[in-house]
Structure 1
Amino acid sequence: MPRHRVVAYYAVPGSEVTGPAFEPSESMYEKLHEQGAAYERLDPVHPVQSGVDLVVSVPDSFPGPDGYYSHHVDAQTIQSYVDFCQRHQLLLFLDLNFGWAPVMKELTSFLPYLQRYSFVHLAVDPEWMFPRHDGVPGVNLSNVRASDLNPIIEALATIPMKYHVPRKMLIFHQYRGDGDSLTNAFDATQAELADKHKLLADKRVDVILHVDSVGGYQGDHEDKKKQYAEWVGQDMKRYHNFRYGGFKLFYHIEAATGLMTPADVLAMKPAPLVVTYGN
């Protein structure tokens, strides 16, 4: 950031329904490379760096042995993706969904990858976070506060100087609106991010606000473009606490109404510098 664009495939390992990166294969790499090339042809000023957005903290609808409503992908599987990405010069975003797990305890489990590997970065999906244990992933809607997320920014900010690796990227997925203009910002039925304006601004971390909504219905293109205009274009100017926008598409789900093309995506303002694809 900001000289390159990231085009990444998303998935939970082993779960084909979640995204095309469900297994680290040569065919997946070739398709990812082709998808990235489509963006680079349209905007050669921003060469594409391909990557994988890998869910490593997986939300569950049951408490599990720790009572966290989430579980970790096993270390061997994560390392297979690390090795694959290193071999193919791909970025790797470790995607944390948390459930009820303590935020910093969960982050600490995965920090060694970010500290050791220059190409490993982080993604966080507040849709599946319940830091106040007030809901169940996949059953209830979440409401997350900046105070839950800012310690993550602070932790990533210390890594480059201490471990001599490049500045880290941090993707915040936004699936629903925020509460900054609402009477009750903490109503989960109305807002996913309660107080987006309080997210910490730290130039040592490249924070990307990534619009993560799902189409596949009549009028979905207009809705997703409007969300991007509000959640990224408008909020970037209002809050000045993130510098880059991201956007997600779904190959199979959104095929029903015609998947937005790279030209459609790049026509939004500001043009997303991170584009991810799920299934």
Structure 2
Amino acid sequence: MRTGTSLAAALAALLLGTTAAAPLTRAPAPPAVRGTTARAVRSAPPPPPPPLLPGHRIVAYYGNPLDPRMGILGQGSPQAMLNALAAQGQAYQALDPARPVIDALELVAVVAQAEPGPHGTYRQRMPYRLIRAELALARSRGDLLILDVQPGRSPVAAEVQYLEPFLAQPDVELALDPEFDMNRIPGGIPGQEFGTMSAASINGAMAVLSRLVQQDHLPPKVLIVHQFLHRMVPDWEDIHPLPGVSFVMDTDGFGNPALKLANYRRFITDQPVGYGGIKLFYSQDTPLLSPAQVLALTPPPAVIIYQ
């Protein structure tokens, strides 16, 4: 989370820009199969695409382009960042050739704040203009876009609704960050104490994704929830995966390898709900786990995020 003036100043500059943002469009459709007719297509719609998980592995860069302190996504030029992400993904592909790697940008689209703001929500929504730009950047390499939510005191459902126009895209996924959810902590302020997110909030977000997949005939969605303390998702056993959604519990937090491995066992191996994920910190993990060490985890992570 970043609460200083840099994010606010960058956001103000973005909002004052005069260049119109490109309209939101769907990813290009696959080419039609030769020999099919419009009548046949109408009478026999194609089957839904298979889910990304578990057949693929997602390797993501996390952050926000308005503040490089938030993660690697906002550091350096966009093309240099994309090249580094591609190289990081290739490191995993080389170790596990049978499981194709898909690169992704995890944009913090709702950023928790230490101040209440005009509506008392302790969060700052990124404007659609910025989200569209990040989606275009991801699509320039055929990558996914993951929209990360740090809700502050705003209901998770309200933030998911704000992002729904993007979640209706076939290549946009969702992540929730309980660390910054203050809705069940009276007087809680993001960054001053760790938050907690209910299974009901998570299930509600999953229901939105499931509905979008079914009504818009989208590829199955991925929902990621970050956790590094039990209190962040205390009722995890009440999380119920829904059709069309691949649920991922991602073990978050920085530290030495022993701590990282212990947290993975606690929140992934011993807390089996959906697929496993892990977040790694280039600057704060001491030392950084290697791709070989990451893939030696049980179960091997389906999602690997770098911050």
Distance 2:274 2:182 in 1: 26
TM-score of the two chains, using structure 1 as the length reference? 0.88
Using the TM superposition, give the Cα deviation of residue 133 of structure 1 relative to its aligned residue in structure 2, in angstroms: 5.2
Distance 1:163 1:50 in 2: 24
AA aligned to 1:252 is S
Match of 1:122 among 162, 174, 187: 174
How many pairs does the alignment contain? 253
Q: Which residue of 1 aligns with 2:276?
A: 245
Q: Which residue of 1 aligns with 2:122?
A: 69
Using the TM superposition, give the Cα deviation of residue 14 of structure 1 relative to its aligned residue in structure 2, in angstroms: 1.8
Using the TM superposition, give the Cα deviation of residue 87 of structure 1 relative to its aligned residue in structure 2, in angstroms: 1.6
Query: What is the Cα-based RMSD across aligned positions, in Å?
Result: 1.2
Give the match's secondary structure for 2:134: helix
Distance 1:71 1:7 in 2: 26
Q: Which residue of 2 aligns with 1:226?
A: 262
Using the TM superposition, give the Cα deviation of residue 250 of structure 1 relative to its aligned residue in structure 2, in angstroms: 0.6
AA aligned to 1:275 is I
Using the TM superposition, give the Cα deviation of residue 148 of structure 1 relative to its aligned residue in structure 2, in angstroms: 2.2
Which sections of structure 1, spanning at least 5 residues, go unmatched? 178-190, 237-241
Q: Which residue of 2 aligns with 1:162?
A: 215
Using the TM superposition, give the Cα deviation of residue 8 of structure 1 relative to its aligned residue in structure 2, in angstroms: 0.4
Q: Which residue of 1 aligns with 2:61?
A: 9
CA contact (8 A) 2:219 2:244 kept: no
TM-score of the two chains, using structure 2 as the length reference? 0.80
Using the TM superposition, give the Cα deviation of residue 13 of structure 1 relative to its aligned residue in structure 2, in angstroms: 2.5
Which sections of structure 2, spanning at least 5 residues, go unmatched? 1-52
Distance 1:263 1:49 in 2: 18
AA aligned to 1:32 is L
Q: Which residue of 2 aligns with 1:210?
A: 250
Give the match's secondary structure for 1:30: helix
CA contact (8 A) 2:214 2:244 kept: no
CA contact (8 A) 2:60 2:103 kept: yes
Match of 1:145 among 182, 189, 198: 198
Give the match's secondary structure for 1:95: strand
CA contact (8 A) 1:245 1:274 kept: yes
CA contact (8 A) 1:12 1:58 kept: no
Match of 2:134 among 39, 64, 81: 81
Match of 2:183 among 131, 138, 142: 131
Q: Deviations over 1:232-278 (max 9, x none)?
A: 11111xxxxx3210001111112xx3211000100000000100000
Q: Deviations over 1:182-236 (max 9, x none)?
A: xxxxxxxxx2212111112223210000000111xxxx21111111112111111
CA contact (8 A) 1:54 1:93 kept: yes
Distance 1:243 1:145 in 2: 16
Tell me, yes or no, if structure 1 residue 198 matches structure 2 residue 198.
no
Tell me, yes or no, if structure 1 residue 262 matches structure 2 residue 291.
yes
Q: Which runs of 4+ in 1 moved over 4 A?
A: none
Q: Which residue of 2 aligns with 1:187?
A: none
Q: Which residue of 2 aligns with 1:180?
A: none
Percent identity at matched positions?
33
AA aligned to 1:19 is G
Give the match's secondary structure for 2:218: coil
Rg larger in structure:
2
AA aligned to 2:94 is R
Using the TM superposition, give the Cα deviation of residue 150 of structure 1 relative to its aligned residue in structure 2, in angstroms: 1.3
